[in-house]
Amino acid sequence: MTSANTMPPSVGTPTMPQETAIEVDDVRVTYGEVQALTGVTLQIPEGRVTGLIGMNGSGKSTLYKAIMGVVPLDVGTVRVGGETPARARARGLVGYVPQSEDIDQAFPISVREVVMMGRYGHQGPLRRPRPVDHRAVDAALERVELTDLADRQIGQLSGGQRKRAFVARGLAQGARILLLDEPFAGVDKPSEAMIVGLLRELAAEGCAIVVSTHDLHALPELADDVVLLLRKVLFHGSVAEALEPEKLALAFGLAS
């Protein structure tokens, strides 16, 4: 059995030392009287898919916000690609794939325009796409198999197709670190399989992928390692160990 400090090699990737993509050191975040994170220390390496597991209110969304640099920290530090979160976002190092319910499905914007948003950091203040931007968007759409739907309004897509569109936005951006929030919620099985396969390919290419999910059945095929979170890190290690009943009981507040 793999120990909590020993991570199994990624499928299809060589066994070699990996650089740290995300480093979280003793991060604490409160909202008024509520302690959202109570001292999270965590390192996420390049070239792996990390599952982020916890019940509602466990701090998963707050941890993402801390990594993105959009929530103030009471104490602690976060480094993303060796940079501050703000600098990492400005350089396009990190991309975020939201939950479907975070998207205004009535907003009059096409799939292509959503993906082009990933290029904003590479454009001037007038946001005028250049040929290189169009090529990046076309390549990203092709990779997530949405080329034929590029001009469709984003709200007309299925849940799985919308998730793929936001993954494409991160690809067009050139992000090497992707944070995905419940990417399988409301997604059909073919889209889920396509997303899992794409994330595995991106990890094999050296990207760092973090996926928050309640779909524990998908973890063995999806993730290399798992973080169990309940306002602090309870466990970080192999999928097999994370799925042990006693560890899940701790993560979901069921332990006696």
Low-confidence ranges of the chain (pLDDT < 70): 1-17, 100-103, 255-256
Two tokens at 47? Answer: 């070239």
CA distance linking residue 249 with residue 192, whole number of Å: 26
Range of the domain at 85: 18-93+213-256
Residue 52 covered by a domain = yes
Q: Which residues contact 254 (CB under 8 A, 6 or more apart)?
A: 248
**pTM reported for the whole predicted model:** 0.86
Residue 224 covered by a domain = yes
CA distance linking residue 132 with residue 173, whole number of Å: 12
**pLDDT given at position 101:** 52
What is the tally of structural domains in the chain? Answer: 1
**pLDDT given at position 102:** 59
Residue 80 covered by a domain = yes
CA atoms within 13 A on the CB side of 107: 10
Residue 86 covered by a domain = yes
Residue 4 covered by a domain = no
CA distance linking residue 97 with residue 10, whole number of Å: 22
What strand order describes the sheet that includes 233-238? 94-97, 177-181, 208-212, 48-53, 225-229, 233-238
CA distance linking residue 168 with residue 110, whole number of Å: 13
CATH number, position 33: 3.40.50.300
Residue 54 covered by a domain = yes
Q: How much is the CA Rg of the chain, to the nearest whole Å?
A: 18
15 to 122, 174, 177, 252: CA distances (angstroms): 34, 25, 20, 33
CA distance linking residue 23 with residue 15, whole number of Å: 21
Q: What does DSSP assign to residue 103?
A: S
Residue 253 covered by a domain = yes
Residue 75 covered by a domain = yes
User: For the chain, what is the mean pLDDT?
Assistant: 88
